[in-house]
Amino acid sequence: MRRKPIALVSELSAGQSLKFEFLREGKRVEGVLVCFKGQLLAYENRCQHLPLPLDYGDNRFFTKDGRHLLCQMHGAVYEPTTGVCVRGPCFGARLAALPIEIARGQVWLALGIAAGQPAVGARRTEIRKRKNSQKNSGSKRV
């Protein structure tokens, strides 16, 4: 299995997200790393209703209250820890989870594992260890 670094744990705090890209079978895939209640999770940035990105390119993935992930196109709402759509046109569908690993403050994308397998969340203690102030979310190419 190959791994690819996608972010530092210190780059994200609760309610923030960070987009990244990777190649799968020669095709560019966009993913998003989200931090929800101290847990890091990664999903493909693709709605389950239509093959469109969840955001409008503005890296906003959370609902205003921060409790869910949102598809901005038609308002599908997803549960952050499972990726299951709990409201909207794709009710019951699930975002494609991307497997990640956390090691020494680095978040790695585990390549070679099919999308849809459970995402691995960061341990909350690693996030608490951060010393640096939080950066704003952004886009990152890996």
- Give CA–CA dist 142/139, Å, rounded: 10
Report H helices in the chain.
124-128
Does position 53 interact with ligand FES (CB under 6 A)? The reply is: no
Number of amino acids touching ligand FES (CB under 6 A): 11
Q: Which stretch binds ligand FES (CB under 6 A): 43-51, 91-99, 119-127, 128-136?
A: 43-51
Contact 34, 51 (CB under 8 A): no
Does position 60 interact with ligand FES (CB under 6 A)? The reply is: no
Q: Which stretch binds ligand FES (CB under 6 A): 5-13, 71-79, 118-126, 127-135?
A: 71-79
- Give CA–CA dist 110/33, Å, rounded: 13
Least spacing, CB of residue 59 vs ligand FES, in Å: 16
CA angle (113 as vertex; 108, 118 as ends), nearest 5 = 80
User: Which residues lie near ligand FES (CB under 6 A)?
Assistant: 47, 49-50, 52, 71, 73-76, 88-89
